[in-house]
Amino acid sequence: MILHELLNYEILRVIWWGLLGVLLIGLAATDGFDMGVAALLPFVGTSDAERRVVINTVGPVWEGNQVWLILGGGAIFAAWPPLYAVSFSGFYLAMFLVLAALILRPVGFKYRNKRDSFTWRTRWDWALFIGGAVPALIFGVAVGNVLQGVPFTLEDNLLSVYPGNFIMKLLGLLNPFALFVGVVSLTMHLSHGASWLVLKTEGAVQARARRFGTFAGLAAIVTFALAGVWLAFGVEGYRFVSEPDHFGPSNPLLSEVVRGGSWLDAYTTRPWIMIAPIMGFVGMAAQVILMRLWSGWSVVAGKVGIFGIISTVGLTMFPFILPSSLNPTASLTVWDSSSSHMTLFIMLVCAVIFMPIILAYTSWVYKVLWGKVTQEDVTSNPNAY
């Protein structure tokens, strides 16, 4: 009970905001290179044997990496119920596309070798490409929409309402800025996937992965910078009219929010958050350079870049989580869209117990499966994809 009292409602809300960011970063840093590898499959492998090598670099780990996706969804559901309700309703179409693409991945892995046919296997290779590229793109599109504000409002009973028909909602999500942020996400994942292939393969596959990864890494740096410029001059920010109650109930309608200024005003009031975009640029640049020198450290540098890029979004928007473009007062923030104090505390205890177990097991799996994948490995192993 003493710990429960020390971790007051405000602190727990900030902790779970940070943990949500950790889960998103974990997803991008682990399942992200799976998606990058799948998206690069038709380009870095020119023969069936080479493509089997590429697939088997992620074959043993991709299922475990998707745990981060499940944890992220579960954390949003339990720690941020209003965010879960509003976002899963507003991004229903986007999430359907992501899930449909992700379903192609296990099916592609399992069915690709069922027939010794060039046409059959090529079709599944492109299905795996879709399963990697589409989620990476859509995740970025979702972030771009969040930065602009999502077109929803809340009724007095806190029921979320999205006006418009199917076509209007879809076209609203696929706006120029959101698509551009999607390109940032896609190139980031491609670069990370290429770094993994440089680490895990050799010969022609490694050379092609290094070439594609260098291009994707440079593209990620440029698009990340241009997205920041676009955000500064082309996207309005959100702000509170008066300081909200950090210990108040989870009811966004009790706080008054308006649009105006720039999201980048946060760097004036909290200059220390500049470390996030710096980490993004330095990490991605180091990944490109190290991809030609020390492949293992290139993967680490890519994860640093991912940490910086995703942290940049979260820290820039704080305390906003999901702004509303239709009714700014309905915007969801850290201070008014969480679960109860007791729920957050119990969940934190569970996270402290189980998160180290997950990390330890994941580390052990990667240690056991360490080493390069060769054509001899996949041809001699009857369990290989």
What pLDDT shows up at residue 5?
A: 65
pLDDT band for 146, please (50, 70, 90 cuts): very high
Q: Which domain does 154 fall in, by range?
A: 2-380
Local confidence band at 41 (pLDDT 50, 70, 90 cut-offs): very high
328 falls within a domain: yes
Nearest to 91 by CA among 20, 147, 11, 173: 173
Burial letters for 268-294: b for 16+ Cβ neighbours within 10 Å, e otherwise?
Answer: eeeeebeebbebbbbbbbbbbebbeee
Chain segment 54-102, per-residue pLDDT in tens: 998 888 888 778 888 888 888 888 999 999 888 887 777 788 888 898 8
Give domain status of residue 309, yes or no. Answer: yes
| 95 assigned to some structural domain | yes
Question: Is position 163 within any domain?
Answer: yes
- Mean pLDDT within 16-45: 91
Whether 278 shows a pLDDT value over 60: the answer reads yes
The 3-class secondary structure across the chain, one letter per residue, is: CHHHHHCCHHHHHHHHHHHHHHHHHHHHHHHHHHHHHHHHHHHHCCCHHHHHHHHHHHCCCHHHHCHHHHHHHHHHHHHCHHHHHHHHHHCHHHHHHHHHHHHHHHHHHHHHHHCCCHHHHHHHHHHHHHHHHHHHHHHHHHHHHHHHCECCEECCCCCEECCCCHHHHHHHHCCHHHHHHHHHHHHHHHHHHHHHHHHHCCHHHHHHHHHHHHHHHHHHHHHHHHHHHHHHHHCEEEEECCCCCCCCCCCHHHCCEEEEEEHHHHHHHCHHHHHHHHHHHHHHHHHHHHCCCCHHHHHHHHHHHHHHHHHHHHHHHCCEEECECCCHHHCEECCCCCCCHHHHHHHHHHHHHHHHHHHHHHHHHHHHCCCCCCHHHHHHCCCCC
β-bridge pairing 320-322 and 332-333: antiparallel
Q: What is the pLDDT of residue 273?
A: 95
Q: Residue 177: what pLDDT?
A: 95
Is 129 contained in some domain? yes
Assign 215 a pLDDT band (cuts: 50, 70, 90).
very high
- Mean pLDDT along residues 237-266: 89
Q: 385 in a domain, yes or no?
A: no
pLDDT tens string 155-207: 888 888 887 666 666 667 788 999 999 999 999 999 999 999 999 998 899 99
Q: Looking at the 3D structure of the chain, how many domains does it have?
A: 1
